[in-house]
Amino acid sequence: MGVEIKESSVGEDAFEDMKEFVHDYLAASVESEDDGGRMRWYPWHSAEYRFNHILNVVEIATEIAEAEGADVDVVRVAALFHDVAKLEAEQDVHAEAGARVAGEYLRTRGDYPESFVEEVCQAVEDHSYQGDLDAVALEARCLIEADILDKIGANGSALMLLRMGYESRSHMDAAKMVDRVLERGRDHVDRIESDTAESIAHQRLKRAKWFREWLVDEVAAMDRSGVTDE
């Protein structure tokens, strides 16, 4: 019996069309809310932030997939759709809702094999899985790891500092806020399985640690209480 040849190649034009659809879907999700969107005032619940997060995850997930031997087409498309329903569905069901959106799009806007559609939908549905990553398919693992990695490092630090303004905090708390990124990052890294994702994680955590050290060195009255020295 010969090796099955997958016919799921996704061209760049098709992928760009998917990106446009996801962008517009997120924008419409916010505009359809009477109160301006679920927690729209919080930056990471806006359509703009969510789409940027998705693009970040696509880039990271693709890097991991290529290095780990996963189906890159499945991973890229699943990463693009993984949070498409984030702004219209509750957190605990947004993955399943996103999988439905992805399935409908792929089945109606392209001639993709059903096996490919099912793999993408399964990866989208599994991206919120909180258990051992050995229990999910390689493609879902690449997506989960990428989703984790976008929340740590320089990007995570910038978002945490932005949060200070919404919580009416002084900039003197900046080191403590970056410390939260490091603590959460270390917790998240414990879930990572692939060597590729682990390498990216350590690089990103190192950047956040350097930034925190620079803050403490440069700001004379920086509040160091609660800041770790690891």
Which domain range does residue 184 map to?
153-218
Q: For residues 178 and 215, is the Cβ–Cβ distance under 8 A?
A: yes
As a whole number of angstroms, the distance between CA 160 and CA 156 comes to 6
Please check whether residue 126 lies inside any domain of the structure.
yes
As a whole number of angstroms, the distance between CA 113 and CA 106 comes to 9
Q: Are residues 22 and 114 in the same domain?
A: yes
Better-predicted residue by pLDDT, 102 or 193: 102
Q: For residues 197 and 143, is the Cβ–Cβ distance under 8 A?
A: no
Q: Are residues 74 and 181 in the same domain?
A: no
CB atoms within 10 A of CB 95: 20
pLDDT attached to residue 181: 79
Q: Is the pLDDT assigned to residue 75 strictly greater than 90?
A: yes
Q: Are residues 172 and 137 in the same domain?
A: no
State the total domains in the chain: 2
Q: For residues 8 and 71, is the Cβ–Cβ distance under 8 A?
A: yes
- The string over 96-129, giving b where at least 16 C-beta atoms fall within 10 Å of a residue's C-beta and e elsewhere, is ebbbbbbbebbeeeeebeeebbebbbbbbbbbbe
Q: Is the pLDDT assigned to residue 114 strictly greater than 80?
A: yes
Query: Among 13, 10, 17, 26, which Cα is nearest to 82's?
Result: 26
Q: Are residues 79 and 161 in the same domain?
A: no
Report the residue count for the chain: 230
The model carries a pTM of 0.84
Q: Are residues 56 and 81 in the same domain?
A: yes
Better-predicted residue by pLDDT, 2 or 222: 222
Q: Are residues 107 and 24 in the same domain?
A: yes
Of 28-37, 58-67, 172-181, which gets the smallest average pLDDT?
A: 28-37
As a whole number of angstroms, the distance between CA 149 and CA 195 comes to 13
Q: Are residues 89 and 111 in the same domain?
A: yes
As a whole number of angstroms, the distance between CA 176 and CA 200 comes to 23
All residues at 6 or more sequence positions from 4 whose CB lies less than 8 Å from its CB, including other chains = none
Q: Are residues 174 and 143 in the same domain?
A: no
Query: Among 125, 131, 141, which Cα is nearest to 84's?
Result: 125
Q: Is the pLDDT assigned to residue 5 strictly greater than 50?
A: no
Summarize the confidence of residues 44-66 as an average pLDDT.
Answer: 91
Please check whether residue 223 lies inside any domain of the structure.
no
Please check whether residue 3 lies inside any domain of the structure.
no
Q: Are residues 40 and 140 in the same domain?
A: yes
pLDDT attached to residue 36: 46
Q: Is the pLDDT assigned to residue 146 strictly greater than 50?
A: yes
Please check whether residue 230 lies inside any domain of the structure.
no
pLDDT attached to residue 2: 42
Summarize the confidence of residues 105-128 as an average pLDDT.
Answer: 95
Q: Are residues 103 and 139 in the same domain?
A: yes
As a whole number of angstroms, the distance between CA 60 and CA 56 comes to 6
User: Predicted confidence band at 155 (pLDDT cuts at 50, 70, 90)?
Assistant: confident
Q: Are residues 206 and 177 in the same domain?
A: yes
- CATH number for the domain spanning 31: value is 1.10.3210.10
Please check whether residue 4 lies inside any domain of the structure.
no
Please check whether residue 225 lies inside any domain of the structure.
no
Q: Are residues 114 and 139 in the same domain?
A: yes
